[in-house]
Amino acid sequence: MCTPTTPENHPALLASPRPQATLDFASNMPDNECKSPSQLQSPSRKRPKTNHDDDDDGSDTRRRRGAGRRCFVTIGATAGFRQLLEEIIQPEFLQCLNSYGYSTLEVQCGPDCEWFAAQVEALPYKHGIEILFFQYTKNMQYHMIQCRGEMGVRPAGCIISHAGSGTILEALRYQAPLVVVPNPTLMDNHQAELAEECEKQNWAVYGILGELTTAIQRSHERIVQGRLNDLAPYTPAPFPVPESQRVTLFDWMVLTCYPEELKRQQHLRDLGMVEDSFEQEKQQAAAALQQQTTELEKNDHSRLQVD
Amino acid sequence: MAAPILALKGEKAAPQIHITDAGMSTSLQSRPGHDIQSQNLRNKTTAHSPNFTTLQETQQPPPENKNANMLECFEFFGEDDFAVAFFFGLITVLATALIAFFVLSWSWLTAIAIVVAVFILFRHVSLKFERPHVGRDWISRGNQRQSSTSIPDIDYLPAVYFLYVLGSGGHTTEMLEIIRQKIHGQPNQHRRYVINKGDSSSQERVQQLESIIRDAYPDERVGTRDAFLIRRARDVHQSALTAPLTCLMSAGQAVLALTREPKSRPAARYGYQFKYPHVVVTNGPATGFIICVVARLLKIFYLVPQNRLKMVYIESWARTQTMSLTGRLFAWTGIADMVCVQHQSLARRTGAEYIGAIAAPLALQNYNPED
């Protein structure tokens, strides 16, 4: 059933720059290889497999957990983004992933899933990268956390996504290294704006179609710079947001429906702010006094020592 | 205090699930529940739909009970005096206009049209100037340190009723995050979510959020909530010819969404305190604009009390340099009481209120690669 003539089966070609990746690839290879022809013959059979990939506790997934870096590509739920999908299965890109120690490339490919399957099938040589793909997922959190670098668990991978705000927000929440690639075919290229802002604020790397290898390189510079490889395990944000952090805009808005109340509350707030500023001044004065006295004491000490 | 009670009248006739907020009793027919389910099923069959559900999902028992516990969904009239009167009145007005069109001379018609237009304009402008001028210093994070006293105390108000308009995809994500950032357990609170009909992923996410809220607060402070399913203003591949028609249809439903009193807060017990929402929050979908236009018209013609239906528009976090189309419409027409943006650069360009990245605070708070 397996096709024995592909270069992947050739032992000579298995020697790749990173021994870890090779090892992992070798262990995953039979599995991967045997699935492929069936996919090619009947695309309908692919569904169960892709769904299986979503499963958190699938044995498949558990086996992969100790593997090398993981690259997750997502193009969002609304529109297809075929250019990006084309880009990520270019040999240069796979080569680049391999040289950075990646072992898995996971793709959420939306409406172009069938097409992508055919493309992956046609690849002559995958540079030791295991390519997984599925159409949509409910459990984005799982896929993204797989790319978050945690100390002693896994090295940081990379999320390559379209520049949609939902995806970016989610990826930033998990502190996974992110490359955003705006989709130029969308209406007036509005995603580019957000991608530029992300680059400016150093939230993510702005990836340009055609230069994704550079983007990966820069993403790894960021990983080193921000030490994203050894973060603490992810803890979700506390839910009832602390009262001092809460967004109170809408509460004030409700108060505008009750004008007397609004007046009263504003008065109270102003009083509170005055009190606060008083207290602050007091503290500042106290701190200044403290500093003065310590300086005086120091001077005294030094004088004593001189004497 | 806000002990959950059942709707007193017409319980059996109403085609809704009605669930009290403590989940004390479940009853009645479940037509909308089935609707949701059948929508889910439909989505499962269409693989290209964005609400693709995984195999995992189908293996789970049908989430009917969960749905029922979480949200009460409205779609239809039910027995609502306001809506019936409103639509009857509207039809009467239109019929009169039609008759007048044939009976009266052109000069009369022009005169009437001018009077109506001037009235609308006058009301619109006067409402604009009634707008409270406290906006600038409310704004919480980013700009201003919050002391304990700058948090308004709204727990003892007779009613606090928010209406959130959800879009799809990123809009929903942002809105839910904003609600997370804003939520405060209080007994006198009602939340209504306006969701596009057929957008089951948004429904599920709202339910997730609601279950989190339920877990986080004691029962009496959770408040009540329901959802209103509304027709999309424009389907994805709809032609421009029929779009105005569907817009009108969703505008009609928007009237219902805005004026339908919540089942869990019946007038028999709470008076008309919960009849109209206090604050309408939207962040970008076209439906949000339609709902705000309808709300404004209702206010212009004195159909709702003047101290209700305050509108807040929050520009998407994704817009950093230019306003979106909806944002420009809001800014240009001035129908929203506040137009807020989440980026300083955009605020500087457009003169809208900068409120900090409230849809993204957690993400950016965590995110500091330098340390």
Q: Sketch out chain B's domains with CATH numbers.
A: 18-70 (no CATH), 81-130 (no CATH), 135-142+152-366 (3.40.50.2000)
The residues, any chain, with a CB within 8 Å of residue B41's CB and separated by 6 or more, are none
Tell me the DSSP string of B298-353: HHHTT-S-TTS-EEEEE--TT-SSS--HHHHHHHHH--SSEEEES-HHHHHHH-PE
Evaluate if residue A100 carries a pLDDT over 50.
yes
A23 vs B150: which has the higher pLDDT = B150
- Interface size between A and B, measured as CB pairs under 8 A: 209
Which pLDDT score, from 0 to 100, does residue B140 have? Answer: 44
Which pLDDT score, from 0 to 100, does residue B146 have? Answer: 52
**CA of B75: how far to CAs of B8, B140, B227, in Å?**
20, 36, 9
Dihedrals phi, psi of A217, to nearest 5 degrees: -60, -45
The residues, any chain, with a CB within 8 Å of residue A29's CB and separated by 6 or more, are A8, A9
Residues A79 and A136 in one domain: yes
Which residue from B47, B324, B362 is facing A237, i.e. has the nearest CB? B362
Residues A279 and A197 in one domain: no
Residues of B in contact with A272 (CB under 8 A): 147-150
Q: What's the DSSP call for residue A103?
A: E
A51 vs A143: which has the higher pLDDT = A143
- B358 interface with A at CB cutoff 8 Å: yes
Evaluate if residue B165 carries a pLDDT over 60.
yes
- Minimum mean pLDDT range among B55-69, B91-105, B301-315, B347-361: B55-69
Confirm whether A194 is domain-assigned: yes
* CATH number of the structural domain spanning residue A193: 3.40.50.2000
- Determine the Cα–Cα distance for residues B356 and B141; give it in Å rounded to an integer: 6
CB contact under 8 A, A255 and B154: yes
Which pLDDT score, from 0 to 100, does residue A164 have? Answer: 82
Q: Position B147: which residue type?
A: S
Residues B89-138: pLDDT tens digits?
999 999 999 999 999 999 999 999 999 999 999 999 988 887 665 555 55
Q: Is-contact B67 B223, C-beta < 8 A?
A: no
**CA of B96: how far to CAs of A26, B90, B197, B365, in Å?**
81, 10, 33, 59
Residues A270 and A187 in one domain: no
Residues A94 and A220 in one domain: yes
The residues, any chain, with a CB within 8 Å of residue A142's CB and separated by 6 or more, are A54, A56
Q: Which of A194, A226, A258 is the last residue of a domain?
A: A226
Confirm whether A233 is domain-assigned: no
Between strands B26-27 and B18-19, the pairing is antiparallel
Residues A35 and A182 in one domain: yes
Residues A280 and A131 in one domain: no
Residues A184 and A276 in one domain: no
- Determine the Cα–Cα distance for residues B125 and B300; give it in Å rounded to an integer: 10
CA distance, residue A112 to nearest chain B CA (Å): 9
Tell me the DSSP string of A111-162: GGHHHHHHHHHH-S--TT-EEEEES--S-HHHHHHTTS-BTTTB---EEEEE
Which residue from B216, B338, B360 is facing A239, i.e. has the nearest CB? B216
Q: Which of A192, A226, A260 is the last residue of a domain?
A: A226
Which pLDDT score, from 0 to 100, does residue B73 have? Answer: 66
Kindly indicate the confidence band of residue A160, based on its pLDDT and cuts at 50, 70 and 90. Answer: very high
Please state whether A101 falls in left (phi above 0), alpha (psi between -120 and 50) or beta: left
Rounded to an integer, the average pLDDT of B168-177 is 85
Confirm whether A232 is domain-assigned: no
Which pLDDT score, from 0 to 100, does residue B91 have? Answer: 93
Which pLDDT score, from 0 to 100, does residue A306 have? Answer: 66
Which residue from A78, A137, A253 is facing B310, i.e. has the nearest CB? A253
Kindly indicate the confidence band of residue B18, based on its pLDDT and cuts at 50, 70 and 90. Answer: very low
Confirm whether A108 is domain-assigned: yes
**CA of B118: how far to CAs of A51, A306, B95, in Å?**
60, 89, 22
Which residue from A225, A243, A247 is facing B141, i.e. has the nearest CB? A247
Rounded to an integer, the average pLDDT of B172-181 is 88
- Determine the Cα–Cα distance for residues B3 and A11; give it in Å rounded to an integer: 72
Among residues 305-334 of chain B, which lie with CB inside 8 Å of chain A?
307-308, 310, 312, 316-322, 324
Please state whether A302 falls in left (phi above 0), alpha (psi between -120 and 50) or beta: alpha
Q: What's the DSSP call for residue A203?
A: S
Q: What is the mean pLDDT of chain B?
A: 74
B88 vs A49: which has the higher pLDDT = B88
CA distance, residue B169 to nearest chain A CA (Å): 7
CB contact under 8 A, B317 and A165: yes
| Residue B179: closest C-alpha in chain A | A247
Evaluate if residue B366 carries a pLDDT over 90.
no
Residues A177 and A51 in one domain: yes
Rounded to an integer, the average pLDDT of B349-371 is 66
Q: To the nearest whole percent, how much of chain B has pLDDT over 90?
A: 19
Among residues 186-205 of chain B, which lie with CB inside 8 Å of chain A?
201
Which pLDDT score, from 0 to 100, does residue B72 have? Answer: 65
pTM for the full predicted model: 0.72
Residues of A in contact with B273 (CB under 8 A): none
What is the span of the domain harbouring residue A259? 249-306
Confirm whether A26 is domain-assigned: yes
- Determine the Cα–Cα distance for residues B181 and B179; give it in Å rounded to an integer: 5
Which residue from B139, B184, B343 is facing A249, i.e. has the nearest CB? B139
Residues of B in contact with A48 (CB under 8 A): 55
Residues A177 and A30 in one domain: yes
Q: Which of B262, B267, B273 is nearest to B18 (CA)?
A: B262
Residues A220 and A289 in one domain: no
Residues A59 and A146 in one domain: yes
Residues A194 and A260 in one domain: no
Q: What's the DSSP call for residue B21?
A: T
Which pLDDT score, from 0 to 100, does residue B149 have? Answer: 54
Evaluate if residue A163 carries a pLDDT over 70.
yes
Kindly indicate the confidence band of residue A57, based on its pLDDT and cuts at 50, 70 and 90. Answer: very low
Residues B48-102: pLDDT tens digits?
433 333 333 333 334 444 444 456 666 655 566 787 888 889 999 999 999 999 9
Rounded to an integer, the average pLDDT of B41-48 is 40
| Residue A234: closest C-alpha in chain B | B366
- B143 interface with A at CB cutoff 8 Å: no
Q: Which of B242, B34, B182 is nearest to A254 (CA)?
A: B182
The total of structural domains in chain A comes to: 2
Evaluate if residue B323 carries a pLDDT over 60.
yes
Evaluate if residue B155 carries a pLDDT over 90.
no
| Structural tokens at position B193 | 């979510």
Residues A245-261: pLDDT tens digits?
777 788 888 888 888 88
CB contact under 8 A, A247 and B138: no
CB contact under 8 A, A135 and B169: no
Residues B247-296: pLDDT tens digits?
888 898 898 889 888 888 888 888 788 889 999 999 888 889 999 999 99
**CA of B253: how far to CAs of B36, B167, B231, in Å?**
18, 16, 7
Among residues 49-78 of chain B, which lie with CB inside 8 Å of chain A?
50, 52-57
Q: Is-contact A221 A210, C-beta < 8 A?
A: no
- Determine the Cα–Cα distance for residues A48 and B133; give it in Å rounded to an integer: 58
Which pLDDT score, from 0 to 100, does residue B169 have? Answer: 74
